[in-house]
Amino acid sequence: MGNDTSQDVFKRIDREKESYLEELKDYLRIPSISTDPDYRDEVLRCAEFLRQKMETAGLSTRLLETEGPGYPLVYAEWLGAPGKPTILFYGHYDVQPADPVELWRHDPFEPTVEGDLLVARGATDDKGQSFAHLKAVAAILAERGSLPVNVKFIVEGEEESGGETIEQFVVKDDGDLLAADAVFVSDSAMYGPGQPSLIYGLKGMVYMEVKVTGPNRDLHSGSFGGAITNPVNALGYMIGQLRDPATGRIKIPGFYDDVVEMEDWERKEFANLPFDEAAYCQEIGVTDLFGEEGFSTLERVWARPTCDVNGIFGGYQGKGAKTILPGWGGAKISMRLVPNQDPDKIEQQFIDYLRSIAPVGVTVEVEAHHNAVPVRLETEGPIVEAAMSAMEDVWKRPVRVREGGSIPIVATFSQVLNVPILLLGFGLSDDRLHSPNEKFNISNYYGGIRAVTRFLDRLDAVSEK
């Protein structure tokens, strides 16, 4: 099938370019930071903004409200094509905090165009990418008054903070409201500029916070130094014991027990992907790469579990030198998991190990934050094929890859809905998600809108077969 079937909509997209960009900018102006309770009203305002946009596009919408501290799910549907497949589009309207704000070139919530780049918090993760789904549907409806297939949207506001509301909803709903023939997710990057990827594996996660407590106050480091265990020294020691510095292997007993090794074809396909180590180092500003021995960089990032400190605190942080033995120290430590590691089991192994290596004279408290289950997805079937071809119509045929990031709800979708889940991102690997000056290439925004248009048009043909 040629691109002809979509030409009518493509023309409209070209005509409406500017307004599609302006709408995205309005969306990005709302600081919907779900991890920070101070932004609660903004997150709620963002949900309502999105619902309005969906309603205006011609969808039936509702906010699935939550009790307690969670954020509403924005739900929308258009089911005017009986007998045709139904596609569920997933995205998230919440964003990461903008800190450190002083490193941004502009206000993170005043989206700024720099050539092809749209710079703002959430530009690519995930407002820009998931808004492309909506604009495609809106463009088709505006042009033709109907869609070739049925669509549903579920957009959550807690992806960046653990995704509890959607998790509970999907399990409780048991796939009633969300029943679909496939789920389409754009919350990831293409393999390279012009080279899309179909992601068939996401990592899971265990996120822990450790607090090590020693004396009942900060002490004079001369009067007491040498007599007790310094809790920050103890914390440093324990962190040092998490990973073998020579082999890069995690030392938590049992950590690798349930790891499913890569298959031969995966190692081959990954090895065949173009990977420029020097450019990779340069882009992130490091001199060398390091990781688990026996694996390539892509294998380490995509298919091997990791354990890393995200933040560490305690002791004197002010200017100059203050001579103390701190009363306590703490760290946030996360582990990225691969199939079939079980987050609950890993959490327990982590706690047991830290307790077992704690030096005398300190107490160790360990608290668990959110978890996510690792997932592996099917990459075959007519709907997957339609999506691959749609991406090819706009860019190139996607390569099959795995990913080091997590999208917690994907594992649940996969279990409960039991249909193909298409992880097809429109972003690029240098989009700086979670970092200052996050950006989305404007050409990729329009490319995404076209790709989704093609996907829906191609599905029409699939369902006639």
407 near ligand BES, judged by CB under 6 A: yes
Residue 406 contact among Mn ion, ligand BES, none, beta carbon within 5 to 8 Å by kind: ligand BES
Q: How far is the CB of 12 from ligand BES (least distance, A)?
A: 29
Within 8 A by CB and 6+ apart from 79, the residues are 86, 150, 152
374 near ligand BES, judged by CB under 6 A: no
Interface residue with ligand BES among 405, 420, 447, 448 (CB under 6 A) is: 405
Interface residue with ligand BES among 218, 403, 438, 457 (CB under 6 A) is: 403
Question: Are 216 and 363 within 8 A, CB to CB?
Answer: no
Nearer to Mn ion, 126 or 457 (CB): 126
Interface residue with ligand BES among 53, 127, 133, 370 (CB under 6 A) is: 370
Q: Which helix (H) or strand (E) holds 422?
A: strand 421-424
What order of strands is seen across the sheet that includes strand 439-441? 112-114, 117-119, 439-441
Q: Which helix (H) or strand (E) holds 136?
A: helix 127-144
Tokens describing residue 267: 């190692």
Using CB under 5 A as the binding criterion, the count of chain residues that bind Mn ion stands at: 3
Measure the CA–CA gap between 21 and 8, rounded to whole angstroms: 20
Interface residue with ligand BES among 23, 42, 77, 125 (CB under 6 A) is: 125
In residues, how long is the chain? 465
Nearer to ligand BES, 31 or 405 (CB): 405
Q: How far is the CB of 410 from ligand BES (least distance, A)?
A: 9
Measure the CA–CA gap between 240 and 117, rounded to whole angstroms: 40
Nearer to Mn ion, 96 or 230 (CB): 96
Question: Are 158 and 117 within 8 A, CB to CB?
Answer: no
- Tell me the three state secondary structure of residue 419: coil
Measure the CA–CA gap between 251 and 357, rounded to whole angstroms: 11
Measure the CA–CA gap between 278 and 141, rounded to whole angstroms: 46
Residue 205 contact among Mn ion, ligand BES, none, beta carbon within 5 to 8 Å by kind: ligand BES
Tokens describing residue 167: 């998790």
Question: Are 124 and 440 within 8 A, CB to CB?
Answer: yes
393 near ligand BES, judged by CB under 6 A: no
Nearer to ligand BES, 189 or 232 (CB): 189
Contact track, Mn ion, 104-133, x by CB under 5 A: ---------------------xx-------
Which residues between 159 and 218 bind ligand BES (CB under 6 A)? 159-160, 162, 187-189, 205
Nearer to ligand BES, 142 or 284 (CB): 284
Q: How far is the CB of 227 from Mn ion (least distance, A)?
A: 46
Which residue, among 57, 56, 135, has the nearest Cα to 91 in the 3D structure? Answer: 135
Which residue, among 429, 128, 166, 186, has the nearest Cα to 302 in the 3D structure? Answer: 429
Question: Are 59 and 77 within 8 A, CB to CB?
Answer: yes
- Whether the upstream peptide bond of residue 126 has omega within 30° of 0, thus cis, is yes
Segment contacting Mn ion by CB under 5 A, of 10-18, 179-187, 235-243, 285-293: 179-187
Nearer to ligand BES, 189 or 459 (CB): 189
Determine the straight-line distance between the first and last CA of the chain, rounded to whole angstroms.
13
Residue whose Cβ sits closest to ligand BES: 405
Interface residue with ligand BES among 165, 306, 349, 406 (CB under 6 A) is: 406
Measure the CA–CA gap between 221 and 132, rounded to whole angstroms: 58
299 near ligand BES, judged by CB under 6 A: no
Over the Cα atoms of the chain, what is R_g?
24
187 near Mn ion, judged by CB under 5 A: yes
Nearer to ligand BES, 128 or 231 (CB): 128
Segment contacting ligand BES by CB under 6 A, of 141-149, 157-165, 304-312, 322-330: 157-165
Segment contacting ligand BES by CB under 6 A, of 112-120, 227-235, 347-355, 403-411: 403-411
Nearer to ligand BES, 80 or 436 (CB): 436
Angle between helices 231-240 and 343-357 (to 10 degrees): 130
Q: How far is the CB of 188 from ligand BES (least distance, A)?
A: 3
Which residue, among 101, 83, 74, has the nearest Cα to 157 in the 3D structure? Answer: 74
Residues that bind ligand BES (CB under 6 A): 125-126, 159-160, 162, 187-189, 205, 370, 372, 403, 405-408, 433
Residues that bind Mn ion (CB under 5 A): 125-126, 187
